[in-house]
């Protein structure tokens, strides 16, 4: 993530969109057995679904729509909320940046909210802030998210401003320099951020396979170098928007106090105007690491004081997140994580703690883009552990080997099923 604005409802909606908009997760929302109601001829809807699986303690009401322009919509009605919120996720990210213009997708994300044919410069940001709201956006490898929250009585006006980003935006050449300087400021701040440093290292490992992309961009990549090469950044920005922004690769989520029928009318009336250019989002089905990079140790000097050893495995996203595959149903990474993280007699963590090498272990999947994923084992080390990383790596692989020798322990799956059920039922909504 390149930029982020925090708010309870906004975070929730952004998470929902990030989850439901990825192509390999669509079946979780659009299961064939769900009772989809077809709309009549001339209607602005293709499909509607109200039968949403949710927590028994969740009093919110949900509805899924698909508009005639192929825009996918999730509506959430919560009469108790004191804020309305919305987010739009577009299946385009910085992996689609031209090689000669790193940061172009991020620049587009920064430019779109500024001005449209319907609303003057900065009208959107002023409308949101004047009505006790916040707004933001984030550019990821394969998708870009725009979001806001606002006083509940001002939702319709905010949605109308918001939709103009995707209907008739004005990408003014005069504003590019200002936005590039804002990106440069963000870049300089991120140099002191460990998460950004680690992410940058991840991307730089796969130069041969995924074509390393500097997604954030800075003044050097978006101003200095293009001028040297005679590249018109404004013309390339217009081309990027026209080629990549289309309703059929967008998903909208709206949360407010109104009932679902009222929310549906608002959304359909406004967002059906977004053009559909019939775009197919790319899948990045590459070998994540070049063979020469496997089995190597990479050292990073952190911006903040931390001691950690991260062991990373590239894994097939199609296998692990195809909802119809056996791997998805049994969640093998959950099994592996439990085995490596647990404390007890002769476990990896207990062994390393006794040797004063490690404080804790955290394992899990880390999705980067469609078809592009890692499985990480992160060990938080002691000062002594930092001096014995090779011994720790040996112990990790030794315990993985021990796990392979054992018969599968069904009780581990049972524990995860119970925990997952509890988590769903405890949740009242995001």
What's the CATH code of the domain at 396?
Answer: 3.30.830.10
What average pLDDT does range 269-275 have in this prediction? 94
pLDDT confidence of residue 201: 72
Q: Distance (Å, rounded) from C-alpha 62 to C-alpha 378?
A: 37
In this prediction, what percent of the chain has a pLDDT beyond 70?
78
pLDDT confidence of residue 30: 30
243 and 122 in one domain?
yes
Q: Distance (Å, rounded) from C-alpha 191 to C-alpha 189?
A: 5
pLDDT confidence of residue 185: 94
Q: Distance (Å, rounded) from C-alpha 265 to C-alpha 278?
A: 24
Report yes or no on 429 lying in a domain: no
* Residue 91 in this model has a pLDDT that exceeds 50: yes
C-alpha to C-alpha distances, 127 to 42, 114, 256, nearest whole angstrom: 34, 12, 17
Domain count, the chain: 2
The residue from 272, 301, 328 where one domain ends is: 272
pLDDT band at 272 (very low <50, low <70, confident <90, very high): very high
346 and 317 in one domain?
yes
Domain that holds residue 386: 291-417
186 and 82 in one domain?
yes
* Residue 123 in this model has a pLDDT that exceeds 60: yes
Report yes or no on 286 lying in a domain: no
pLDDT band at 229 (very low <50, low <70, confident <90, very high): very high
* Residue 25 in this model has a pLDDT that exceeds 60: no
314 and 219 in one domain?
no
Condensed to tens digits (0 to 9), the pLDDT of residues 5-18 reads 334 444 444 444 44
Report yes or no on 68 lying in a domain: yes
339 and 225 in one domain?
no
Q: Which residues pair with 309 in a beta bridge?
A: 379
What average pLDDT does range 304-326 have in this prediction? 70
Report yes or no on 323 lying in a domain: yes
- Is the pTM here over 0.85, yes or no? no
298 and 204 in one domain?
no
The residue from 244, 272, 300 where one domain ends is: 272
The residue from 240, 272, 304 where one domain ends is: 272
What average pLDDT does range 49-67 have in this prediction? 89
For residues 185 and 53, which has the higher predicted lDDT (pLDDT)? Answer: 185
Q: Distance (Å, rounded) from C-alpha 369 to C-alpha 383?
A: 35
342 and 229 in one domain?
no
Start-to-end C-alpha separation, the chain: 20
407 and 268 in one domain?
no
Backbone angles phi, psi at 215, to 5 degrees: -65, -35
pLDDT confidence of residue 52: 85
218 and 130 in one domain?
yes
206 and 97 in one domain?
yes
What average pLDDT does range 93-110 have in this prediction? 93
Helix axes 104-111, 176-190, angle to 10 degrees: 120
Is residue 84 within 8 Å of residue 149, measured between CB atoms?
yes
What average pLDDT does range 399-428 have in this prediction? 74
Q: Distance (Å, rounded) from C-alpha 72 to C-alpha 109?
A: 20
363 and 263 in one domain?
no
264 and 295 in one domain?
no
Report yes or no on 284 lying in a domain: no
Q: What is the mean pLDDT of the chain?
A: 81
* CA 56 to chain centroid: 27
Report yes or no on 101 lying in a domain: yes
């Amino acid at each position: 993530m390149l930029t982020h604005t925090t708010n309870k409802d906004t975070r929730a909606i952004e998470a929902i969109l990030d989850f439901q908009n990825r192509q390999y997760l669509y079946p979780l929302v659009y299961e064939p057995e769900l009772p989809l109601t077809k709309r009549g001829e001339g209607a602005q809807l293709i499909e509607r679904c109200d039968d949403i699986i949710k927590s028994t303690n969740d009093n919110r009401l949900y509805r899924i729509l698909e508009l005639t322009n192929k825009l996918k919509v999730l509506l959430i009605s919560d009469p108790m909320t004191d804020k309305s919120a919305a987010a739009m996720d577009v299946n385009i990210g910085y992996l689609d940046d031209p090689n000669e213009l790193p940061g172009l997708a991020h620049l587009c994300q920064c430019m779109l909210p500024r001005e449209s044919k319907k609303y003057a410069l900065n009208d959107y940001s002023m409308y949101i802030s004047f009505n006790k709201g916040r707004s933001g956006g984030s550019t990821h490898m394969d998708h870009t998210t725009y979001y806001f929250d606002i006083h509940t009585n001002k939702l319709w006006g905010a949605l109308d401003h918001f939709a103009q980003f995707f209907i008739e935006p004005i990408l003014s050449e005069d504003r590019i320099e200002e936005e590039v300087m804002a990106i440069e400021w963000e870049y300089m701040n991120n140099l002191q951020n460990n998460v950004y440093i680690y992410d940058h290292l991840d991307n730089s490992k796969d130069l041969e396979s995924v074509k390393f992309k500097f997604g954030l961009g800075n003044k050097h990549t978006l101003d200095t170098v293009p001028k040297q090469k005679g590249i018109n950044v404004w013309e390339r920005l217009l081309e990027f928007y026209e080629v990549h922004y289309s309703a059929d690769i967008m998903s909208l989520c709206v949360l407010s106090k109104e009932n679902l029928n009222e929310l549906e009318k608002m959304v359909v009336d406004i967002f059906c105007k977004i053009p559909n250019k019939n775009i197919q989002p790319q899948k990045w089905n590459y070998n994540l690491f070049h063979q020469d990079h496997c089995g190597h140790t990479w050292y990073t000097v952190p911006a903040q004081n931390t001691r950690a050893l991260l062991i990373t495995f590239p894994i097939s996203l199609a296998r692990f997140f195809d909802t119809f595959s056996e791997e998805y149903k049994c969640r093998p990474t959950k099994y592996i994580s439990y085995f490596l993280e647990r404390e007890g007699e002769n476990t990896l963590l207990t062994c390393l703690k006794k040797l004063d090498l490690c404080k804790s272990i955290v394992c899990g999947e880390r999705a980067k883009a469609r078809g592009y994923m890692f499985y990480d084992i992160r060990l938080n080390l002691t000062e002594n552990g930092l001096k014995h990383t090779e011994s720790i790596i040996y112990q990790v692989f030794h315990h993985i080997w021990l796990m392979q020798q054992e018969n599968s322990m069904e009780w581990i799956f049972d524990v995860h099923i119970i925990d997952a059920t509890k988590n769903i039922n405890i949740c009242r909504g995001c």
